[in-house]
Every structure is written in C-alpha cells, then in structure tokens.
Amino acid sequence: FQGLEDKIVPPNQAELMVAALRAKGVPVAYVPFEGEQHGFRKAENIKRALDGELYFYSRVFGFPLADAVEPVEIENL
C-alpha cells in the first residue's frame, strides 16, 4: 500500500523491497495509490488500505474474515 507521492519512502524504494520479497518467494502485495503521500489523506484510500492489509493477513495466517472485503492480489502465497 504505497502512496505514489510519498517522499518518506519513495515508490521506487517500495518497489525494490517488493522485488526482493518476490525473489525470495515471500508473500507480497503491492497496491499503489495515486495522489497519496506517506500518510494517506483520502478516507476511501485509508479504508481500502486497512481492508487490504487485513485481507493480506487473513490469507497469510489463515484466519477467516468476519466481513467481506475487497481482495488484493498476493504473490507467492
């Protein structure tokens, strides 16, 4: 979950981390957000990022979600 205007962790640094995780076979999801910085400001993006993070953890750790959320693509799962 990466703000594409992030100056703290620029997108290229996040993409390098994602590439390293992919190469090691570690489960990874990368979801870029247009118009967001390091701390998201738009309510819909905050909700999407939190829902996506919860979805990611539920898939990696194998617990059921109480409510349906929009899935994110998880590589190496």
In a domain, 76, yes or no: no
> Alpha-carbon distance 3 to 24, whole Å?
24
Residue with the two structure tokens 């979600």 = 65
Q: Which residue range forms the structural domain that includes residue 33?
A: 2-61
Domain-embedded: residue 36: yes
Instruction: List, for residues 22-76, the tens digit of each pLDDT value.
Output: 999 999 999 999 999 999 999 999 999 999 999 999 999 999 999 999 999 999 9
Global pTM exceeds 0.75: yes
Does residue 77 sit within a domain? no
Residues near 59 by beta carbon (within 8 Å), at least 6 away in sequence? 27, 74, 77
What's the number of domains the chain is made of?
1
Task: Supply the pLDDT for residue 44.
Answer: 98
Residue 16 lies in a domain: yes
